[in-house]
A and B are shown apart, each in its own frame.
Chain A
Amino acid sequence: MKRILIILAMVCQAIWCGTAAQGALGNPSVKFYEGNLSYKQGNYEKAIATYEEVLKEGFASGALYYNLGNSYFKAQQLGKAILSYERAKLFIPRDSDVQSNLNYAMSRSRASSTPQEISFLKKIFDDYKDLLTSREMMWIVVILYILIGVALVCAEIFQLSTRTRWLLVIFLASVTVAQGFLWISNVQNISRAVVVLEDAQAKFEPSDQATQHFYLFAGEKVFVLRSEGAWAKIQRLDGKLGWVKVSDVERLISEQR
């Protein structure tokens, strides 16, 4: 037992050290403030470049994406602005400023496709997922998982009946698995993307000569289903499928990150 605790402590220490090492890689805060200064001076292009530099160094935060979204918005790049606000929501999903600016930017978008009807249950799950960051979701899974272990030990100590034990464990395990599923689906959902080009055309086939299928406008949310060379097969919120150039859309969670 003592050995197990020692191993657990060593693993936790290793993880903590890893996080601390990541924090020591650079000082992104300085660049962040530089970007803010450029923004306040009205030099939005420079602000964008500075914020993007922080991202290229491998750091991100909700405030960084939010300010980047503001800069893109002021620089009349609506698609990139909406993309940045959506990314900011991944880090600070309950921030009212992000939601407000995102709503305003969306109102400026010419995108008019109406989402497909979804079931009540799916809407609840989607709203719940939008409410939490992936880290928060992971910690909920961890806590629920710990609770299962505690429940098992308590059941042994208090000699609960077999039926009660099963009910308790099945309930907690179901909640944990459901939460884990939501978390994993949130982390691995790399299909969500935003149209960054002002006016994009979705075609029937991945070819310049293909017939135009429908229009896409900057800021429009789409799902990237697959890529083929320089083309990506996307699905619009209203369910329509089409091929666009990969450069026309940008994923919320890019594959290389």
Chain B
Amino acid sequence: MQARWAKILLSLCFFVSISVRAVAQDVSFQASVDRKKAGLDSTIILDLTATGVQNVSPVQLPEIDGFKSRYIGPSTSISIINGQQSSSVSQKYILYPQKTGVLTIPAFTVTIEGKPYATEPIEVEILESAPAEGQDSAAVDIGRPVSLEDKAFLRLEIPREKIYAYERLPITIKLYANNISLTDIQFPVLSQGDLVLEDFAKPVQYQDILNGVSYDVVEFNIAAYASKAGTVTVDPAQLDCNVIYKRADRRSSMFGGLSDDFFNDFFGSYEKYPVTLKSGSRTVEVLPLPEGAPPGFGSAVGQFNFEASASPLEVNVGDPITIKMTISGNGDLKNVELPAYKDSENFKAYDPQIKQQGNAKTLEQVLIPKTEKVVHVPEASFVYFDPQKEAYATIRRGPFPLTVHPAQQGKANIIVEGAQDKAVAPETFGRDIIFIKEKPGAFYSLSVLLADVKFFAAFLFLYAAMIVAVLVVFRKNIRMKTDVGYAKRLRAPQKAKEGLRAAEHYLKAHKQKEFYDTAYKVLQKYFAEKFSIPEGMVTSYDIQGILLQRNISLSMVGKVKELFAVCEMVRYGATTSDGVAMQKSYQALKEIFDFFERI
């Protein structure tokens, strides 16, 4: 509720300079000024307002000590609120201060519709120059020394100093603003303390004159309850809003304050600063409820009205009788209990339906007469404490005379066609829960949620691993088919292993020529596939250049070149080799493959 109204108020911006007259039914005549402190070089606007009339002749101002005056003109205001029309006429004057000191604007009299009316005198203080900011006591906190005491303040009003426990206590918080633009006005924040607070009502905006100064007022109303006796303190209310003013010169100090000249600079740019207004605190004496509460008293405190009815009043045994009760009034209805009927030997009482709407709480209950001997629905009584009368009160309704006929067992069988509507009408008996379920459904272990999480975590991991594996294998297969160099590079180690096995076989068989022939071919094929070059290019003469181009260490290049040379010499019969030399060559071949598989 508060949030909704706060949103509405966020867009609410009101300007004090706009003349809106107060709404009133009776005729009244009041004087007000736009400020109570001014400099010799500034002016004061005097406003003489007659409410409840539509036409008043301008007042001829007498000589006012310390002022020169000039009549500006009238303004008329007509407003219709809640269907009631009110009007006011305002006559405005400019007062030019002529001397310093505390000056008094005297009372003015006027005759309206043959009756004389007079204003109250107003005291104003005239200084040498317009009051500098910071001279007044600060009533706001905007993080810098700015005084707005005369421009905006908050008041906490409580109509009574003594209340009873559970009695409704109306609290009013008023925001007064004079010659200042406020925006983004939030709902006041009121500490709960020992009180239980209701929601704020819709705020009301109007104009009021306080100590001769005209203010725009936003009034917030809220109700509170105290549940225990004692002295209760209503802490200060706080209200957040933003002040809008025009900045005269960007180069001048933007923290200069909120003086009139400052505001009157039309060419200044707008600035917006958050302010927090605080009210004073109040104390309330909460009295305990008097002893001797009548039976049936709950905690209803206030002024209430209680109504009850029963219908129909002529029924058969077993037919429903609907009881309706309403409690309305001024009090904490949430804690008010309606006097519902209970099961008795004469009636079966169903559970009541209770609703609360606004200032009324209603009850609907179905009673079923058990016997035709019943002659009335018993009396219903509501007990409450009236704090105005300081006494307990009891409102009684009923008894309601009742005619009950014996139940007609065969009634359904003898009902003639066309009367079916009447026959089905009694089916609208109260309401109850739907019957229990016959089958238990699927039972779950209470730790099933945890098991679900474990299952989910396991699945998450395994499925992700599976998808990654599938994608890797798939991509590898595709590349093997499309990238010949890649395929050869991948096949090179396999071929090397096969060649090593063949060479090992010839080594063990002491087949010298076959061994070196195999070793040479394996080396040639391995480097050709590894570096994607034709096999014919891999010879003992070219291998050094091929390897050096690929930044292979000189020792490894020498080892490869030496093996190639040994192989060629043995293959072409230039020399022979014994078993030890073959073993050495085989080891060299293995080391070469190991080295190139690691890079």
Contacts and interface: CB of A to CB of B under 8 A. Distances in A.
Interface stretch (B82-90, B435-443, B490-498, B563-571): B435-443
Given A73-B433, A187-B453, 9 more contacts: A8-B463, A36-B438, A39-B436, A59-B446, A63-B441, A142-B459, A145-B459, A212-B228, A214-B196
26 contacts: A4-B462, A4-B466, A4-B469, A15-B458, A40-B436, A60-B444, A60-B445, A60-B446, A61-B443, A63-B440, A63-B441, A64-B441, A70-B435, A97-B437, A138-B456, A149-B464, A149-B467, A156-B471, A156-B474, A157-B474, A187-B449, A211-B193, A212-B196, A212-B227, A215-B334, A215-B335
Interface in B397-452: 431-449, 451-452
B267 interface: no
Contact of A61 (B441, B460, B467): B441
Interface in A122-169: 134-135, 138, 141-142, 145-146, 148-149, 152-153, 156-157
A226 interface: no
Given A1-B470, A1-B473, A15-B455, A61 B444 contact: yes
A4 B465 contact: yes
B194 interface: yes
Contacts of A156: 471, 474-475
Interface residue range, chain A: 35 or more
Contacts of B469: 1, 4
Contacts of A23: 443
A112 interface: yes
B443 A29 contact: yes
B356 interface: yes
B211 interface: no
Contacts of A74: 433
Interface in A78-106: 91-92, 97, 100-101, 104-105
Contacts, number: 137
Interface in A243-257: 253, 257
A1 B477 CA distance: 14
B433 A59 contact: no
Contacts of A64: 440-441, 443
Nearest to B469: A4
B353 interface: yes
Contact of A11 (B433, B462, B473): B462
Contacts of A107: 353
Interface in A1-20: 1, 4-5, 7-8, 11, 15, 18-19
Interface residue range, chain B: 35 or more
Nearest to B467: A149
Contacts of B452: 134-135, 138, 187
Nearest to B353: A107
Interface in A56-78: 58-64, 66-67, 70-71, 73-74
A1 B466 CA distance: 8
Contacts of B459: 11, 142, 145
B232 to A, nearest CB: 10
B389 interface: no
B351 A108 contact: yes
Interface centre among A61, A92, A117 (most CB of B within 10 A): A61
Contact of B451 (A18, A33, A108): A18
- Which 10 pairs across A and B sit closest by C-beta, in order of nearness? A149-B467, A63-B437, A32-B440, A67-B436, A63-B441, A101-B433, A22-B445, A61-B441, A97-B434, A59-B443
Contacts of B433: 70, 73-74, 100-101, 104-105
Given A134-B449, A153-B467, A211-B194, A91 B444 contact: yes
Nearest to B356: A112
Nearest to A102: B433
A11 B459 CA distance: 9
Interface in B1-57: 1, 3-4
A92 B194 CA distance: 44
B476 to A, nearest CB: 12
B305 interface: no
Interface string B167-205: 000000000000000000000000011101000000000
